[in-house]
Structure 1
């Protein structure tokens, strides 16, 4: 299974770099046991984020130099991403901030780790209404083995078991 995901990730990334035909975003969910927080880091190609804000919000939007546009995109991503416990209880996420890092735009969120958490239900539909081929990879780390789920335009909620 691990080889499958590694191969799939390599395929997605190579497809993306070949003519920028495949739209991909990566989200990392990390359990920080020192701070007792779930840390969420969304990584978007700046090029994709730039096209998205122009298509979704304002054709004149400038995500590179306008903090308000960056915040608008971050607000959009937060509306498209959700976490729930196994029992369906929502995990409230706090916005931490955004960061431009070379060709990437990062969006950070966090939440206290719920007591007795044994699984996550994840939803990540960012950019999929804009680009039906958009793939959102979510990696979950810090609670057993690293686990990954892939969202396409037909996925709404996917489950990750944390019992391992």
Structure 2
């Protein structure tokens, strides 16, 4: 048995579907407009090179907005090498690895690149002979956006350790079991 819908029922169904579509689009736009600002950094103890390698990954969209606020409104991180270098330098100045005595390890800026939807910044330093832990500061973009979340994964010196910088956190610490070195 098939049911025939009246014209007013069809119009009401179309109207309801239209309202749902508009409401969904507005909610989706609002969610995208207020996406969480986040960056991920890997601190890798590389046994082959005996270096600590640092790889920062920023969403390119966030980096685009950041350079316009940090440098000038015409800054272009996608196509301008100078803007890319300036942003990489900014990141390097807002990140630090400290030993247990709170002495900064001398990180070198190795390079940077745009890759797909991300902007990468690379740093490294020689592994100190004895290191029972690290204190880490990572406040890149947190001066622009207090809600910025910077997550760090520390790999290659015992089990994976994850640190998350949120709110007013400025310094976090990881300890190592040095049986592996």
* Alpha-carbon offset, residue 153 of structure 1: 3.5
Alignment pair present for 1:45 and 2:86: no
TM-score by length of 1: 0.87
Flag structure 1 segments of 5+ consecutive residues without an equivalent.
Answer: 1-17
**What are the equivalent positions in structure 2 for 1:88-99 lying under 5 Å apart?**
88-99=102-113
Higher strand share: 1
Alignment match, 2:132? 118
Give the Cα–Cα distance (whole angstroms) in 2 for the partners of residues 64 and 99 of structure 1. 9
Q: How many residues align?
A: 147
Report which of the two structures shows the higher radius of gyration computed on alpha carbons.
2
Query: Which 4+ residue blocks in structure 1 deviate beyond 2 angstroms?
Result: none
Q: In angstroms, what is the RMSD of aligned CA positions?
A: 1.0
Higher helix share: 2
Give the Cα–Cα distance (whole angstroms) in 2 for the partners of residues 155 and 62 of structure 1. 30
TM-score by length of 2: 0.79
Give the Cα–Cα distance (whole angstroms) in 1 for the partners of residues 99 and 127 of structure 2. 10
Give the Cα–Cα distance (whole angstroms) in 2 for the partners of residues 112 and 31 of structure 1. 9
Contact 1:71 1:98 in 2 (8 A): yes
Contact 1:125 1:153 in 2 (8 A): no
Flag structure 2 segments of 5+ consecutive residues without an equivalent.
Answer: 1-30
Give the Cα–Cα distance (whole angstroms) in 1 for the partners of residues 169 and 175 of structure 2. 17
Give the Cα–Cα distance (whole angstroms) in 1 for the partners of residues 142 and 101 of structure 2. 27
Question: Per-residue displacement from partner, 1:112-160 (whole Å, max 9, x unpaired)?
Answer: 0001111000000010111111000000000000001000130111001
